[in-house]
Structure 1
Amino acid sequence: MSLRLEWNNEQHEYEMSPAFIAKLEQLLQLAGEMEHVNEGEVALTFVDDAEIHRLNKEYRGIDRPTDVLSFAMQEVGEDELEIVYADRDFVQDGDLRDGERLDAYGEDVEGTDAEEGMEAMFDEPLGDIIISVPRAIAQSEDYGHSVERELGFLFVHGFLHLIGYDHQDEEAEKEMFAKQELILQQAGLFR
C-alpha cells in the first residue's frame, strides 16, 4: 500500500498545473515519511471562500471563511459520525469465505493479479483537507511568498491535523509549525 493523494478543484481563481499537483504529492510523501505514515488516502479539495465559509459554519459553528479545514477519518468520538459504506454486497478485502480470500465484491482474489490492485483500492482514508484558494492567494501576498508555497503550507498543515497534530498551546504550535517548515523546505517551497 502507499500514501495517496486524491484531489478535486472546485474553484476558478487559480489554475492547478500538473507540476503543482506533483509538488503536492511530493509534500504528502515527505510529510508521511517524517511522521511514519506510509499508507492511506488524503482527499484534497480546492474551494472558494463561499464554500469554505459554508463548511466552517456547518461543521465548526464558525460563521466566517477560513483558509483550511481538516476532517480526519480516523477519529470516531461521541459527536462524530462513523463512515458507513453503502456498496451492495460490500465485504472487506481479505475477508474469508470457505477458506478463499475475497475482494470487495465477494470474489476470490487468491493467486490473481487483482490481489495487488485490491490493496490500493482499500487504502485507509486519512481524511479530507479543504483549502480556500482566495484565502491562500491573499495570505501569499500578505506574507510575500508564492501562492504555491501558501497552498503547500496549508496542505501540510491540514495533513498534520489529519494525523493528530494540533496547535492549541504555544508548545504544540511551535512543534507543528517547525515540522511544516521543514517539509516545505525539503520540497523547495521557501519563503
Structure 2
Amino acid sequence: MRNKITIKAPRRTQKNVLREHIQKVLKAEQCLKGVNIILADDTLLARLNERFKSKKGPTDVLSFPFEEEDFLGEVYVSLDKAVEQSQKYGAALNDEIKRLVVHGILHLLGYNHRQMPSRLKRYL
C-alpha cells in the first residue's frame, strides 16, 4: 500500500523524485499515513513561524502534526532557505530540499533534534 503524498511546489521542483524518496522514508518507518509537503517562500514560513511558534522571521522547515488516523501532517519548507543552505554547504538544491523534507517528516513521526542526525543519515 502506498502513502498518499501531496506535494505543492513550483514547476522546477522534481516532485516525482521527492515523492519516491518520501515514500521510502515512510515505508522504512512503517508509517502508512499520508503527508502534505508544501514548498514555499520565506514570507509564508515567517508568517507561520510567528503565528504558530511565536518566533520572528523565516525558518527552513516547519512541521504540523495532525490528529487523524490516516494523515500524518504537513511539512512546510522554505525554498529561499533551501537555496541559501545548499550554497552555504555546497550541496545540490534538490538534495537540500530532500534533507529539509525528511527533517520535517521525522518531526511528524516524533523524533527530536537529538535523534535527528542518525535518522537523517539513514535516509539521505
Same fold at TM > 0.5: yes
1:68–1:132 Cα contact (<8 Å) kept: yes
What is the TM-score with the length of structure 2 in the denominator?
A: 0.91
Looking at secondary structure, tell me which structure has more helix per residue: 2
Equivalent position amino acid for 1:36 in 2? Q
Aligned to 1:60: 53
* Residue aligned with 1:128, SS: strand
How far has the Cα of 1:2 moved from its partner?
Answer: 2.7
Counting only pairs closer than 5 Å after superposition, residues 76-95 of structure 1 correspond to structure 2 as none
1:72–1:162 Cα contact (<8 Å) kept: yes
* Residue aligned with 2:4, SS: strand
How far has the Cα of 1:34 moved from its partner?
Answer: 2.0
* Deviation beyond 6 Å, 4+ runs, structure 1: none
Equivalent position amino acid for 2:34 in 1? E
Q: 1:15 aligns with which of 12, 16, 20?
A: 12
- State the structure with bigger RCO (CA 8 A, min sep 6), 1 or 2: 1
2:2–2:23 Cα contact (<8 Å) kept: no
Q: 1:151 aligns with which of 74, 88, 97?
A: 97
1:42–1:127 Cα contact (<8 Å) kept: yes
Aligned to 1:26: 20
Aligned to 2:118: 178
1:53–1:64 Cα contact (<8 Å) kept: yes
How many residues of Structure 1 are paired with residues of Structure 2 in the alignment? 124
How far has the Cα of 1:5 moved from its partner?
Answer: 1.0
How far has the Cα of 1:179 moved from its partner?
Answer: 1.5
Structure 1 spans left out of the alignment, 5+ residues: 75-82, 84-122, 168-172, 185-191
1:133 aligns with 2:73: no
How far has the Cα of 1:67 moved from its partner?
Answer: 0.2
Q: How far apart, in 1, do the equivalents of 2:97 and 2:119 lie? A: 16
Q: How far apart, in 1, do the equivalents of 2:49 and 2:77 lie? A: 11
Looking at secondary structure, tell me which structure has more strand per residue: 2
2:7–2:19 Cα contact (<8 Å) kept: no
Q: Percent of aligned positions with the same letter in both sequences?
A: 31
Q: Specify the structure having the higher radius of gyration (Cα).
A: 1
How far has the Cα of 1:161 moved from its partner?
Answer: 0.6
How far has the Cα of 1:152 moved from its partner?
Answer: 0.1
* Residue aligned with 1:43, SS: strand
